[in-house]
Structures are given as structure tokens and as C-alpha cells.
Amino acid sequence: MAAAALSQYFGRYLSIVLVESEEIGIVGVGEATIPQIRLFNAGLGLDEREFLRETMGTFKLGIEFVGWRREGMRYFHGFGEVGRAIGLVPFHHYWLRYAREGGPLPLDRFSPNTMAARENRYGVPANARAARLPASAYHFDAARYAAFLRRYAEARGVTRREGKVVNVRLDGESGFIVGLDLADGGRIDGDLFVDCSGFRGLLIEQALAAGYEDWSHWLPCDRALAVPSTGDGKLEPYTRSTARDAGWQWHIPLRHRTGNGHVYSSSFTTDDEAQRVLLANLPGERLADPRPLRFVTGKRREIWKRNCVALGLASGFLEPLESTSIHLIQAGIARLLALFPDRHCDPVLVREFNRQIDWEFTAVRDFLILHYHVTERDGSEFWRYCRAMPIPESLQEKLAMFRSSGRIVRQNMELFDTPSWLQVMWGQGLRPEGHHPMVDAASAADLARYIAMNERETSEQVASLSDHAAYLARLVASDASAPLARPAEVAG
Ligand SMILES: Cc1cc2nc3c(=O)[nH]c(=O)nc-3n(C[C@H](O)[C@H](O)[C@H](O)COP(=O)(O)OP(=O)(O)OC[C@H]3O[C@@H](n4cnc5c(N)ncnc54)[C@H](O)[C@@H]3O)c2cc1C
């Protein structure tokens, strides 16, 4: 992603060398994304049809959470809006009054994505201009995406060097990285180094000792088992996350297979039991042996240090519950482009980058903790721990504000906006005691009209969509004449 973006935005002005080792390989398990990926692909000028063909991709409208509030209950975190705000007051405040006064329609009925997902629908609505759909992302085969972007970068002048880095040379005075030594005797010198070496953090940690902030006391899952299987024939346009006794299981429908994984905490279950649970809950036939992965949730203390910027797993890892890792790579690249240095790497740019990316990680971290902490599950040690654990002050404040008056404040343009926090807080069972007082200024008749208008708009949009599998099949088989969702419609 970094080589592709740098080559697209700088052209041949920069001389970019991409070092990869086939012997080491990639993690390759990132399969679900969030809508911002469309902006990244659009920035590269990728054709959506070609991208979906190459990566065996499907569309994603959100995530269905099964059993997270308690066993037997489910809710949906859909991308995009939930109802239309009136001025400064978000829709849900009006809906809270409506529900308190006995209104029967649940919150879901105002989320086009949730309603479309329930019916396995996708497409571009008839009245695309006025529509709130599609706010969507993709599921894709990460190994195919990496290969696709490698070809893209090479076509734009990036030199790809196969080889294993065995030594990182530092300047004795400044501590800057001056070059890399490869196992085959090759040497690569440079001015700026982007560490994309995965969990090992070959440059940022092993050479520059940036340090690591461990957040596993808040997010105790530290292992995963990933296994592909055949699908269940439904090709749902959403990810499913099912709570398990010591973690959760993902279900990601791709065109050629389904991605499955069990994310769990080694303090609360064994690897054997985790594997048993995963294999007992596959939607189809298993296509390979489960692949074990280990991680420590957290982030580097300095993600940019001297002349080295870490991206991806080298910069930190927040578990995949809300599919945010690929986005954090994208966010790092966007900031690197915005603050791109000269060869001296002005410390003021480095500090600004670290401030912004630290904030991004922290805000996502809080959103993830919400899913674990606000729950009624108490059937296992793991969930009892999550319910009782102390949480960061920033999250305490968010929960307190929602609980008292239904308010959700988006800080510093954090990644997840009001509709995301709303759907997850509500879905996990948190109920506000009040709502915004401005809502009470509306007459009962106006409130009823407003609610009915929002409900009608949502159902009309959803009704105008196609079956997801049929839409996708048409799209990947089509040439430039098929309608494409435009990135401008999907932000958020
Ligand atoms: C269980 C799990 C589930 C995930 N699910 C999602 C998801 O649904 N959505 C999402 O957005 N993200 C997800 N992620 C994260 C996602 O997989 C990663 O963010 C993404 O794959 C990027 O990985 P990376 O490039 O940072 O590291 P890697 O894939 O590990 O790549 C490291 C690269 O560095 C090279 N390398 C390493 N050492 C050397 C060396 N000595 N010499 C030369 N080359 C070297 C390797 O060859 C490789 O090319 C998940 C991660 C895990 C662990």
C-alpha cells in the first residue's frame, strides 16, 4: 500500500525500493475493511471492477454482532447514517423520545445498511443523489490485494527487491538509518525508511528501540486461529462476529471462499479448545489447516522515529474486531504524504505525525474496548473479567455522557462517528436516561411525521437495491458501462 501510494503521488521523483522476503511471507489475514478503503483505491485510480476481480472481493455494509450483549441476541453495526439529523441534533435523540412515548419502530429501521444487510441486498439506489447508500467497504483476499498493489507499484517505477534484511546500519552520530544489508550480500541505502516488516518491527523496534505500549489489559485477546472454508451459499454483504467464551469468531464471505477465525485470550482458554470451537462452527467444508497467530494489542511509543516511519503491524496492532488495521495503514500513509519530510526529517513533522497517529490508535482502542466492557455476558471468566476491568478515562467519559443524555461527541475527527458509537452502545445494551432537550420543542405531530419520513426513505432506498451476489456477478463481469458507487457518496 505504501509503495503504491508513494509511487502514485510522487511519480518517479522519488526512487522507491520495496524489499520483501518470500521466505518470510506476509500475515495475509486482513480480509475485512471499512469504507475509507474506497478513498485509498480511488486515490490510486483503481477501477472497482478490476479490483474486485483481482482480489475475489465482496461488498461489506457493516458487521453483525452475534451474542455480544448476551447469548441469543444480535445487533448490526452498519456503516453510514442512522436517520437524518435536524440541524445540530442527531436523529437518534428524536427517536429516543419517540421510543419512550411508545413508538414501535426499532433503531435498525433507520439504518439503510442494516436493513439492506438483513435482505442480502447491495447496489446503487435508484435515486443515488439523495441516497444514503451505499456506505460500504469490501471484503477481499489480502494476499491478492498485496500482489495487485505490487504490480501497480512496479508499473510506476518502484523497484521490488526480493531478499532478507539481516542488518540495519545506523549513522554513528545522528542515529538515522543509513542502509540495510541483505542476506545475499546486497546493500540498500536510503534517506527515508518505511518499516512494513510486520509484528517484528525490524527497523523501528529491533534497530531503533521505539518501545511498545501494551494495551492487553484492556483488550485481552492475544491469539487467533484463521482457517478458510467453503461458504454457505449466501454471500452476505457483511462480516459476522460471534462472541465465544474466551473471545469471538469472524465470518468473512469472499467469492472463492469464506474467511473464518477465532480471536481469543490465552489467559482464558487453551489453543486446543480454541481450535475445537472454531472448527465446530464453520459454515462449510474446511479448506486448509488452521493457522495460529499471536499478538500483543498496543502500539509503538514512537511510530515515526528519526528517519523511519512504521506502518501496519510494525506500528502496532489493534485486534480485528472492527476491521481497522488496513485502515490504520492507510491513515499512516495519508499522514506521511501530508507531512512528507526532506532528508533531515524535521523533528516538528515527526512530532505532529506521532501526535495524530497516536490519537487515531487511541480512539479506535476505546471503541473496541466498548464492545467487551459493556455487556451482559457473564457465563465465562473472560467476560466477567471484561465487564469488571477498569477502562480508560476517555471511554468512561463517553459512556457517562451517553448514559445521561444520549449525547455522543466526536473528538478530533476520530475515525468512528456518532452512528457507529450509537449502534454499538445501544446494541451492547447501554440505555440513555435522557435525550437532547431541543427534541421536546417538537410537537407530537411533527415528531411522528419526521420519524415516518425517515422510515419511508430508508425502506425505499433498500427496496431499490439488488441481490448482493447478483449485483457483484454483474459488476465483475461488466466493462466500463456498469454504474459504480462513487467515493464521494461513501465517506463515513
Ligand atoms: C488475526 C488477524 C486478523 C486480521 N484481520 C484483519 C481484518 O479483518 N482487517 C484488517 O484491516 N486487518 C486485519 N488484520 C491486520 C492485517 O493482517 C495487517 O494489517 C495487514 O496484513 C498488513 O500486515 P503488514 O504488511 O504490516 O505485515 P506482514 O503481512 O507481516 O508483512 C511483513 C512484510 O515484511 C517482510 N519482511 C519481514 N521481515 C523481513 C526481513 N527480515 N527481510 C525482508 N523482508 C521482511 C515480509 O516478507 C512481508 O512482506 C488482521 C491481523 C491478524 C493478526
One-letter amino acid at 40 equals: F
- How far, rounded to the nearest angstrom, does the alpha carbon of residue 408 sit from its chain's CA centroid? 20
- Nearest Cα residue to atom 13 of ligand 1: 30
Cell 485509498 belongs to residue: 40
**pTM, entire model:** 0.96
Under CATH, what is the fold of the domain 2-215+298-463?
A: FAD/NAD(P)-binding domain (3.50.50)
d(CA 161, CA 244): 42
CB 204 within 8 A of CB 211: no
Cis? peptide before 134, omega within 30° of 0: yes
> Which atom of ligand 1 is nearest to 20's Cα?
44
Per-domain boundaries in the chain? 2-215+298-463
Q: Which of 182, 188, 196, 303 to mutate for ligand 1's pocket (most ligand atoms within 8 Å of CB)?
A: 196
Question: 140 to each of 73, 230, 237, how far by Cα in Å?
Answer: 28, 15, 12
- Nearest Cα residue to atom 7 of ligand 1: 30
So which residues are the catalytic ones? 60
Encode the chain (492 residues) as per-residue pLDDT tens digits: 999 999 999 999 999 999 999 999 998 887 999 999 999 999 999 999 999 999 999 999 999 999 999 999 999 999 999 999 988 999 999 999 999 999 999 999 999 999 999 999 999 877 666 666 569 999 999 999 999 999 999 999 999 999 999 999 999 999 999 999 999 999 999 999 999 999 999 999 999 999 999 999 999 999 999 999 999 899 999 999 999 999 999 999 999 999 999 999 999 999 999 999 999 999 999 999 999 999 999 999 999 999 999 999 999 999 999 999 999 999 999 999 999 999 999 999 999 999 999 999 999 999 999 999 999 999 999 999 999 999 999 999 999 999 999 999 988 889 999 999 999 999 999 999 999 999 999 999 999 999 999 999 999 999 999 999 999 999 999 875 545 544 334 333
- Please name the residues in contact with 448: beta carbons below 8 A apart, sequence gap of 6 or more: 98
Judge if the beta carbon of residue 27 lies within 6 A of ligand 1. yes
Rg of the Cα atoms in the chain: 23
- DSSP-assigned states of every residue in 316-350: EE--GGG--HHHHHHHHHHHHHHT---TT--HHHH
Report residue 401 as a C-alpha cell. Answer: 455522557
> What DSSP state is assigned to residue 86?
B
